[in-house]
């Protein structure tokens, strides 16, 4: 990481997929009482690790990601046979046979309670399932810490959705001194993302959330620019809101840049960093892609000594295989290992903060895309599995019930998904002004969704924040919405009063309306800035009609943009272009099998060989690459790519760097296709001289801005030769458009980053 971020998850949760292998597992017959290990012995003659991983994976409910890894059952009969084998398998035998024995597994093993383990080690998994379904919470908590993460990851495989809900309804681990994560409570992380990291836009989204009595868990912004300087600006903006309302110690704030950046800032300005965040993966190899190790995270946990707010994590099924690091293990078990990582770090936090420090996670189920799973039913299944695995490992387990715009899960489908999942009572959900994130361009939970779910399921908000919502008069003394409910301008008035502003209510609210309109009306008219929720429709949980209409228009436009392809006219407009293509057969194949867009076809490799040979051993410092990504329209906009390239070439020349005159255009290209270009062009060059690929690629549509990103890889030629370039050493300039970060400014940022990366 350590780069300009689209969002930590955008790279780290595998927006761009990698396939290790594909296929399905056939399990034709199972003998009575046979377990996983006896089956392997019968079929193979001795223990076989690969078959072990396949059998465990084959017991999962079907998802496309497991099929890509090569561990999915070929049909329901095989799946049921795998479940029979698993149900007959003892906890001890699974514990003694790690599915993946890496440093993370060893760390997780240390968090297991040996006394509890001895109680259950001779139970079969089927016995554990029955125990969980029939025993109360106290009894479950008396054994659940005796299971390591791989054992926990096997439990959902044996349960139906209703069984998952039944167990989830019994297990709760509230955050210290709060009702967050308690039975009957549903909290919210306000996610005030801005395409330009604008503090004003961020603040107004928080005020909008407060107006609906939403936002009791954390104010957490995904930054576009993950540098320390930008992180500090956003931290200060969030801190200002918390301080103005005298909420210090009641609700924390957090900027989701890389944990190292937050750690550096905490050392320099501890007052700015209230809560620290990091994305986690389920294998050492995948965590390396995130620039994370067990040792690093333990040290960050120790740095929270004396702090009320410890560490916050995001995870997601599929993040490991999409980063080429599943190591043959299925998505459910790998997800459980992430929670085991968090459980171990929670124990480290307890050592340095005996009173208990906040630690929780949210699973971003559905964020990656159709390569992991494709339907709303699978989204529900994923969420129910993940809540249970988190709860069984003693964590406050939250969700981002979400969908990318290239999945077949619509705005309206999300409401259905929420209603299926809520009986399981997760700790919290995301909360945005609408269901469409204005920066990340994915679908998630709106403020009004929280209002609806509270009304339908009787969920409460953490008591301390509910008292605050009464104090600012959006909720009355009887717990009912007031006339100020859904009025962020009123909340702005309260914000100003909290800062000691003595102007009249009329003057402050007139100012607030002007500020609100400057953001929201601009977004309505141009797509610039961000949407702000205010008011409501027929019900208090309905978006107001103009806002709802605009969001649906953006959704429809995004669906069109995803299927757009480069036109002949655009390709002709790019000077000195060299055309390449990936392994994708067509646009549909590209969308549902992202791995096909990461590898160049044989003809394209031959074309690159010729280009490299034409250099006659004198490779340029920089090669420009252009790909369509998920939004060819953003690349083809006449005010986007060509102005960026022209400005980039001037900036590179001024910096004394050479750039090849050819512009490489990749059809159906994803980020890793750019790395492959570098692997071919810079192979066998001067091993100690850095060479850079500047990869221009279309972002997810849906914000109305048609933005694009630039991925910069600039290692020494030796790294290119060894094909070791991946997301962990890449920096990103993102959110580039005529409405957000201007192409000319992005070109300057690009060259600045290249100079830093190459030390020129």
CA dist 433 → 132, 158, 210, 441 (Å):
38, 38, 11, 13
CA dist 4 → 74, 222, 652, 732, 733 (Å):
41, 11, 19, 5, 5
Kindly report the number of other CB atoms within 10 A of residue 563's CB atom.
13
d(C-alpha 6, C-alpha 709), whole Å: 8
In DSSP terms, 363 is beta-bridged to 315, 399
Residue 217, pLDDT score:
98
Averaged pLDDT, 683-706: 90
Residue 335 and residue 361 in contact, taking contact as beta carbons nearer than 8 Å? no
d(C-alpha 537, C-alpha 540), whole Å: 6
Residue 324, pLDDT score:
86
Position 23 confidence tier, pLDDT thresholds 50, 70, 90: low
Averaged pLDDT, 230-251: 98
Domain 563-758, CATH homologous superfamily name and number? Ethanolamine ammonia-lyase light chain (EutC) (3.40.50.11240)
CA dist 163 → 278, 351, 381 (Å):
31, 35, 11
Residue 201 and residue 194 in contact, taking contact as beta carbons nearer than 8 Å? yes
CA dist 353 → 304, 305, 697, 753 (Å):
8, 6, 44, 38
d(C-alpha 276, C-alpha 703), whole Å: 28
Domain 19-166, CATH homologous superfamily name and number? lyase (1.10.220.70)
Residue burial 292-305, b: 16+ Cβ < 10 Å; e: rest:
bebeebeebbebbe
Give yes or no for residue 705 having a pLDDT over 60.
Answer: yes
d(C-alpha 95, C-alpha 132), whole Å: 19
Give yes or no for residue 139 having a pLDDT over 60.
Answer: yes
Give yes or no for residue 5 having a pLDDT over 70.
Answer: no
Helix (H) or strand (E) segment spanning residue 709:
strand 708-713
In DSSP terms, 622 is beta-bridged to 659, 692
In DSSP terms, 667 is beta-bridged to 581
DSSP codes joined into one string, 25-63: E------TT--HHHHHHHHHSS--HHHHHHHHHHTSPP-
Give yes or no for residue 637 having a pLDDT over 90.
Answer: yes
Percent share of the chain, pLDDT over 70 = 97
Nearest to 529 by CA among 205, 163, 186, 93: 205
Contacts of 3 (CB under 8 A, 6+ apart): 226, 730, 731, 732, 753
d(C-alpha 645, C-alpha 457), whole Å: 53
Residue 335 and residue 319 in contact, taking contact as beta carbons nearer than 8 Å? no
d(C-alpha 518, C-alpha 200), whole Å: 10
What tens digit of pLDDT does each residue of 360-392 get? 999 998 998 888 999 999 999 999 999 999 999
Helix (H) or strand (E) segment spanning residue 220:
strand 218-221
What tens digit of pLDDT does each residue of 74-92 get? 999 999 999 999 999 999 9
Nearest to 236 by CA among 255, 217, 263: 255
Residue 742, pLDDT score:
93
Decide: pTM greater than 0.85: yes
Residue 129, pLDDT score:
98
Chain-wide mean pLDDT for the chain? 94
What tens digit of pLDDT does each residue of 242-251 get? 999 999 999 9
Residue 322, pLDDT score:
86
Residue 657, pLDDT score:
97
Contacts of 484 (CB under 8 A, 6+ apart): 211, 472, 473, 474, 490, 491
Averaged pLDDT, 429-449: 95
Give yes or no for residue 476 having a pLDDT over 90.
Answer: yes
Nearest to 542 by CA among 493, 485, 494: 485
Residue 760, pLDDT score:
54
Kindly report the number of other CB atoms within 10 A of residue 321's CB atom.
33
Give yes or no for residue 98 having a pLDDT over 80.
Answer: yes
Averaged pLDDT, 13-27: 51
Position 14 confidence tier, pLDDT thresholds 50, 70, 90: very low
Domain residue spans of the chain: 19-166, 185-553, 563-758
DSSP letter (8 states) at residue 309 = E
As separate numbers, helices (DSSP H) first and strands (DSSP E) second, the chain gives 34, 18
Residue 368, pLDDT score:
87
Kindly report the number of other CB atoms within 10 A of residue 155's CB atom.
24
DSSP letter (8 states) at residue 360 = E
Residue 700, pLDDT score:
79
DSSP codes joined into one string, 476-527: -TTS-B-TTTT-HHHHHHHHHHHTT--S-HHHHHHHHHHHHHHHHHHHHHHS
Averaged pLDDT, 259-268: 98
Residue 3, pLDDT score:
31
d(C-alpha 455, C-alpha 477), whole Å: 17
d(C-alpha 719, C-alpha 475), whole Å: 59
Give yes or no for residue 10 having a pLDDT over 50.
Answer: no
Give yes or no for residue 7 having a pLDDT over 80.
Answer: no
| R_g of the chain, CA atoms, integer Å | 26
Give yes or no for residue 704 having a pLDDT over 80.
Answer: no
Nearest to 705 by CA among 205, 225, 195: 195
- Among 467-481, 603-617, 733-747, name the one with the lowest average pLDDT: 733-747
Give yes or no for residue 354 having a pLDDT over 80.
Answer: yes
Contacts of 88 (CB under 8 A, 6+ apart): 33, 34, 35, 36, 124, 125, 126
Residue 190, pLDDT score:
98
What tens digit of pLDDT does each residue of 581-609 get? 999 999 989 988 888 999 999 999 999 99
What tens digit of pLDDT does each residue of 291-320 get? 999 999 999 999 999 999 999 999 999 999
Averaged pLDDT, 90-112: 98
φ, ψ for residue 29, nearest 5 deg? -150, 145
d(C-alpha 331, C-alpha 624), whole Å: 35
d(C-alpha 166, C-alpha 140), whole Å: 13
DSSP codes joined into one string, 569-586: HHHHHSTTEEEEEBS--S
Pairing of strands 442-443, 403-404: antiparallel
d(C-alpha 732, C-alpha 730), whole Å: 7
Give yes or no for residue 2 having a pLDDT over 70.
Answer: no
Q: Measure CA of the first residue to CA of the last residue in the chain; give whole Å.
A: 20
What tens digit of pLDDT does each residue of 497-511 get? 999 999 999 999 999
Residue 1, pLDDT score:
28
Domain 185-553, CATH homologous superfamily name and number? Aldolase class I (3.20.20.70)
């Amino acid at each position: 990481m350590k780069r300009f971020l689209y969002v930590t998850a955008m790279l780290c949760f595998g927006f761009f997929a990698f396939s290790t292998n594909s296929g399905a597992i056939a399990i034709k017959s199972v003998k009575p009482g046979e377990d996983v290990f006896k089956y392997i012995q019968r079929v193979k003659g001795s223990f076989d690790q690969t078959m072990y991983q396949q059998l465990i994976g084959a017991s999962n409910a079907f998802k496309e990601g497991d099929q890509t890894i090569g561990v999915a059952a070929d049909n329901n009969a095989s799946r049921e046979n795998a479940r029979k084998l698993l149900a007959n398998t003892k906890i001890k035998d699974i514990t003694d046979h790690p599915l993946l024995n890496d440093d993370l597994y060893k760390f997780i093993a240390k968090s297991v309670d040996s006394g509890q383990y001895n109680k259950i080690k001779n139970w079969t998994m089927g016995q554990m399932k029955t125990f969980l379904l029939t025993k109360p919470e106290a009894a479950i908590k008396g054994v659940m810490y005796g299971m390591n993460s791989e054992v926990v990851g096997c439990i959902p495989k044996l349960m139906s959705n209703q069984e998952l809900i039944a167990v989830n309804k019994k297990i709760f681990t509230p955050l210290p001194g709060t009702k967050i994560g308690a039975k009957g409570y549903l909290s919210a992380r306000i996610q005030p993302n801005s395409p330009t990291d604008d503090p004003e836009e961020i603040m107004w989204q928080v005020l909008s959330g407060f107006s609906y009595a939403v936002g009791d868990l954390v104010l957490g912004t995904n930054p576009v620019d993950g540098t320390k300087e930008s992180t500090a600006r956003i931290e200060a903006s969030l801190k200002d809101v918390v301080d103005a309302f005298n909420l210090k110690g009641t609700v924390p704030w957090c900027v989701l840049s890389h944990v190292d950046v937050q750690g550096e800032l905490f050392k320099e300005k501890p007052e700015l960093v209230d809560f620290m965040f990091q994305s986690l993966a389920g294998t050492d190899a995948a965590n390396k892609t995130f620039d994370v190790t067990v040792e690093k995270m333990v040290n960050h946990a120790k740095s929270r000594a004396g702090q009320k707010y410890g560490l916050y994590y995001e995870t997601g099924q599929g993040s490991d295989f999409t980063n080429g690091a599943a190591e043959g293990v299925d998505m459910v078990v790998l997800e459980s290992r992430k929670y085991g990582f968090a459980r171990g770090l929670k124990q480290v936090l307890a050592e340095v903060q005996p009173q208990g420090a906040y630690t929780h996670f949210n699973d971003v189920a559905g964020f990656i895309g159709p390569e992991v799973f494709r339907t709303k039913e699978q989204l529900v299944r994923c969420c129910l599995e993940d809540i249970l695995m988190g709860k069984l490992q003693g964590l406050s387990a939250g969700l981002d019930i979400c969908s990318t715009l290239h999945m077949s899960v619509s705005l309206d489908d999300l409401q259905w998904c929420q209603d299926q999942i809520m009986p399981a009572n997760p700790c919290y959900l995301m909360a945005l002004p609408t269901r469409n994130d204005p920066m990340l361009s994915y679908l998630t939970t709106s403020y009004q969704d929280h209002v609806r779910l509270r009304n339908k399921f009787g969920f409460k908000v953490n008591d301390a924040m509910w008292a605050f919502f009464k104090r600012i008069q959006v909720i009355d003394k009887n717990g009912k919405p007031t006339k100020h409910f859904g009025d962020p301008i009123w909340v702005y008035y309260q914000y100003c009063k909290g800062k000691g502003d003595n102007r009249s209510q009329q003057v402050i609210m007139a100012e607030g309306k002007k500020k609100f309109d400057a953001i929201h009306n601009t977004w309505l008219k141009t797509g610039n800035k961000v949407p702000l929720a205010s008011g409501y429709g027929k019900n208090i949980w309905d978006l107001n009609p103009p806002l709802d209409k605009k969001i649906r228009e953006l959704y429809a436009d995004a669906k069109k943009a995803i299927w757009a392809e480069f036109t002949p006219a655009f390709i002709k407009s790019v000077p000195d272009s060299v055309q390449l293509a990936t392994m994708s057969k067509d646009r549909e194949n590209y969308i549902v099998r992202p791995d096909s867009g990461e590898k160049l076809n044989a003809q394209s490799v031959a074309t690159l060989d010729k280009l490299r040979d034409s250099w006659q051993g004198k490779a340029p410092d920089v090669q420009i690459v252009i790909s369509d990504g998920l939004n060819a329209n953003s690349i083809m906009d006449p005010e986007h790519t060509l102005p960026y390239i022209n400005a980039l070439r001037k900036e590179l020349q001024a910096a004394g760097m050479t750039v090849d005159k050819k512009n490489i255009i990749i059809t159906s290209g994803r980020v890793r296709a750019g790395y492959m270009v570098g692997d071919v062009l810079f192979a066998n060059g001067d091993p100690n001289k850095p060479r850079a690929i500047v990869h221009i690629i279309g972002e997810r549509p849906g914000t109305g801005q048609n933005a694009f990103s630039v991925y910069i890889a600039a290692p020494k030629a030796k790294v290119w030769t060894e094909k070791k370039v991946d997301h962990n050493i890449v920096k990103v300039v993102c959110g580039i458009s005529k409405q957000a970060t201007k192409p000319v400014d992005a070109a300057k940022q690009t060259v600045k980053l290249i100079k830093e990366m190459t030390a020129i």
